[in-house]
Amino acid sequence: MRLPSPSIQETNVRGVRLFEMPCSVDPNRGRLTVAEVPHGLPFSPQRCFLIFGVPTGQTRGQHAHRTCSQFLLCTHGECRLLVDDGTQQAEFHLDRPTLGVLVPPLIWSTLRLHSADSVLLVLASVPYEEEDYIHDYADFLTLVQLPTP
């Protein structure tokens, strides 16, 4: 069954978008939610990773990417995602598998998983490259505040 396109909401943080993904609900067979290239997922992932077993109260992330876009969704449990473009910040509460967040490059993001059985799925637009990561917030601010040439 072909599902409709997601409902996409802009946010106050540059390029960050919320996706309410379509969901098929069948009382006998359960639920299915989908993200499909190009409308439901704006890139074809080159890397997919899961974060899980994070002790309550611990954070992950706290970095930005130079070129990588990411699409994040909480497949079980709950998590809070803080995003920051250097000027504007926002916090999202990911509490259902149908809610995805698109995080473009040059967005500082921080993640808090609600409990150790929460699971975050990250679909990434490029393969892993250590050089793509910006781990220092001051470096991040310098990069995003460069004037356009």
Binding site for a second copy (CB under 8 A): 1-3, 25, 27-37, 41, 44-55, 58, 60, 73, 75-77, 97, 113, 116-117, 119, 121, 123, 127-128, 130
CA–CA gap between residue 80 and residue 99 (Å, rounded): 12
Residue 136 vs 142, nearer CB to a second copy = 136
- The answer to whether 23 touches 31, Cβ cutoff 8 Å, is yes
Active site residue 65: no
Q: Which of 39, 63, 76, 93 is catalytic?
A: 63
Nearer CB in complex with a second copy: 13/72: 72
What strands, in cross-sheet order, belong to the sheet with 79-84?
Answer: 89-94, 79-84, 108-113, 59-65, 133-134
- Least Å distance between CB 128 and a second copy? 6
Unique residue bearing structure tokens 């995080």: 103
In the complex with a second copy, the residue whose CB is nearer, 132 or 141, is 132
Pairing of strands 17-20, 47-52: unpaired
CB of 130 to a second copy, least distance (A): 7
- What's the DSSP call for residue 118? -
Which residues carry out catalysis?
A: 63
